[in-house]
A and B are shown apart, each in its own frame.
Chain A
Amino acid sequence: MFTRSIGVQNTLKCMEARRFVAQLTSIHAIPSTRTQPSQINHSVASTNERKSLLNRPGLLGIKKGMITWFMENGEQHAATVIEIDNCEVVANKTVDSDGYWSVLLGQIDKFKNIAPNDLKKFEEAGVSPKRHIAEFRVRDESGLIPPGTEIKADYFAVGQMVDVIGTTKGKGFAGPMKRWGFAGLPATHGVSKAHRSHGAMGGNQDPGRVLPGKKMAGRMGGKSCTVFNNQVLYANGDEGILIVKGQIPGPNKSFVKIRDAVKLYGKSLLKINQELM
């Protein structure tokens, strides 16, 4: 009797233990987990995140001409001289007031023919009136610079890569051979007064129209153009001279925007930094 009762108790214990070890749970019984809130891709915030915006603004300059530049090892390069003439911060734009972060810069002092409204803005900033004003978007609040600060040419380090944005020389109304590099029509074999024209414009009854974006004659040049990854060869803040390797768009005396390079070897710097982290 005594022994039997112990045996029964043991078996009960075993059953009890097994009951708690092997417990089947239905997937419907899993307690709910907290998920990330769904991101709205067309919101302003996510659009700004997708853009390859820089952490700091660039600089405004004037193209002055091209020179020969010798490196220390004797290498010779063509280089472009950019003058930085009293480039000062005029205003900042913020998310609260404008929906994005940006810095407004002005260059070249000007004292005649300024609208009173503009004069007020320059007074607020604490700078003399400027001839050319341009805007640089920045990633966040940390990139803003207080108005009235002068930015000098040594803002960029010698050896770093910069992008230069300028307006190309206007070529007027140009034909398709000059504008798009078309081959033109033959010189002989019955071609009459159409040696430099484009050929066919597209299909016949199908599609029955000229497709949008067809390359044709028209105004050439005078458009904004960015030259990526120019190396800085010389930067002197007190002299106001910045020299970059290679050529930049536009004629001499034209205004250009210079900023830190946004991409390296075809990859955005933001992405490279993210990969490194």
Chain B
Amino acid sequence: MIYLKTLLNVIDNSGAQVVECIKVLRHSPKNFAKIGDEITVVVKEAKPLSASITGQSANNRVKRRDICRAVVVRTKAPLRRPDGSTVRFDDNACVLINKNGDPLGTRVSSVVAKELRDLKYSKIATLAPKTF
């Protein structure tokens, strides 16, 4: 359940650490984002810029106050699967993407939901160390 003003952890190496949701895309204003939904975020906290650590060029990294798109990969609210099981994680997390849906970073650091594999974000699911 990701609304306006929800804070999310960022689990890729794009440079952002904590972002805030400012818009849930393709939903009615009263509705919320679930796993696999796209949102617009503003970067609240970012890692200090050092290209040597991440091995990326400086222009590909995001800074504080940047506005970008993200896809929700974990939620605290339970997600119902068609077989009747529900899955919930201990935090809300997202991965930053560009307008085509490709991730900005090159690595995903922790577990993501299995649902991303069937959506157009299968690249994030393959980058992740584990899907659940």
Contacts and interface: CB of A to CB of B under 8 A. Distances in A.
Direct contact between A and B judged by beta carbons closer than 8 A: yes
Contacts of A76: 82-84
A266 interface: no
A13 B83 CA distance: 93
Contacts of A74: 82-83
B125 to A, nearest CB: 21
A75 interface: yes
Nearest to B83: A74
A68 B84 CA distance: 9
B43 to A, nearest CB: 36
By DSSP majority rule, is chain B's interface helix, strand, loop, or mixed? Answer: loop
Nearest to A76: B84
A70 B82 CA distance: 10
Contacts of A75: 82-84
Interface string B55-87: 000000000000000000000000000111000
Contacts of B82: 74-76
Interface string A57-76: 00000000000101000111
B32 to A, nearest CB: 20
A76 B84 CA distance: 5
Interface residues of B, number: 3
Nearest to A68: B84
Nearest to B80: A76
A201 B82 CA distance: 46
Contacts of A68: 84
B104 to A, nearest CB: 36
A68 B83 CA distance: 11
A75 B81 CA distance: 9
Nearest to B85: A76
A96 B7 CA distance: 72
A174 B85 CA distance: 36
Interface in A128-162: none
B13 to A, nearest CB: 37
Contacts of B83: 74-76
A39 B84 CA distance: 56
A2 to B, nearest CB: 97
A268 to B, nearest CB: 28
Interface string A63-93: 0000010100011100000000000000000
A77 to B, nearest CB: 8
Nearest to A77: B84
A74 B84 CA distance: 9
A254 to B, nearest CB: 27
B85 to A, nearest CB: 8
Nearest to A74: B83
A227 to B, nearest CB: 21
Nearest to B82: A75
A76 B82 CA distance: 6
A76 B81 CA distance: 9
A192 B86 CA distance: 44
Interface in B68-120: 82-84
Interface of B: 82-84
Given A75-B84, A76-B82, 8 more contacts: A68-B84, A70-B84, A74-B82, A74-B83, A75-B82, A75-B83, A76-B83, A76-B84
10 contacts: A68-B84, A70-B84, A74-B82, A74-B83, A75-B82, A75-B83, A75-B84, A76-B82, A76-B83, A76-B84
